[in-house]
Amino acid sequence: MIRFIAGEKGQGKTKKIIDLANISAKSTDGHIVYIDDDSRHIYDLHYDIRFVATASFPLSNYRELIGFVCGILSQDNDITEIFIDGLTNIVKTMDNDALCKLVAKLERLSADNSVDFTISMNCKATELPEEIQKLQI
């Protein structure tokens, strides 16, 4: 399953995704990973959540992000949820076509590995492609 949180800067996307991750940490038996572009929110997360800051990993397109996520999944078979906060801050080049391709790859990873993805993105929700708008929470 893939869920999206879209909105403009200052609309509370990060708070919402952090709250969702913390709720999941209290209710899941698996492992949770939280991916962000920097370490600002590391202390806002439950201590059981694995925090990964991408600042030192130059991810320039959706393919590199997929490889990054696959690397994380390959190291831990017990991951049940991955939260990606600030997709457009992590991957600098993300147009609607690349976003649709990213979601298609993540859907396959989700099905093959029983992992749910929650992604926040800084953009107007109405500007997202229709298939991505259906995934919004």
**Domain interval for residue 57:** 2-133
The reported pTM is 0.94
Residue 12's Cβ-count burial label (10 Å; 0-12, 13-18, 19+) is exposed
Q: What is the pLDDT of residue 108?
A: 96
Q: What is the pLDDT of residue 50?
A: 96
Q: What is the pLDDT of residue 87?
A: 94
Q: What is the pLDDT of residue 94?
A: 86
Do residues 91 and 62 make contact, with C-beta atoms less than 8 angstroms apart?
Answer: yes
Residue 127: Cβ within 10 Å count: 10
**What is residue 126's DSSP assignment?**
G
The CA–CA distances, whole Å, from 39 to 35, 55, 100 equal 10, 9, 27
5's enclosing H/E stretch is strand 2-7
CATH of the domain at 120: 3.40.50.300
- Per the structure, the count of domains in the chain is 1
Residue 66: Cβ within 10 Å count: 17
Q: What is the pLDDT of residue 92?
A: 82
What is the mean pLDDT of each successive set of 10 residues along the chain, which is 137 residues long? Answer: 92 94 94 94 94 91 96 95 95 90 96 96 88 89
**What is residue 7's DSSP assignment?**
E
Q: What is the pLDDT of residue 80?
A: 97
Q: What is the pLDDT of residue 124?
A: 86
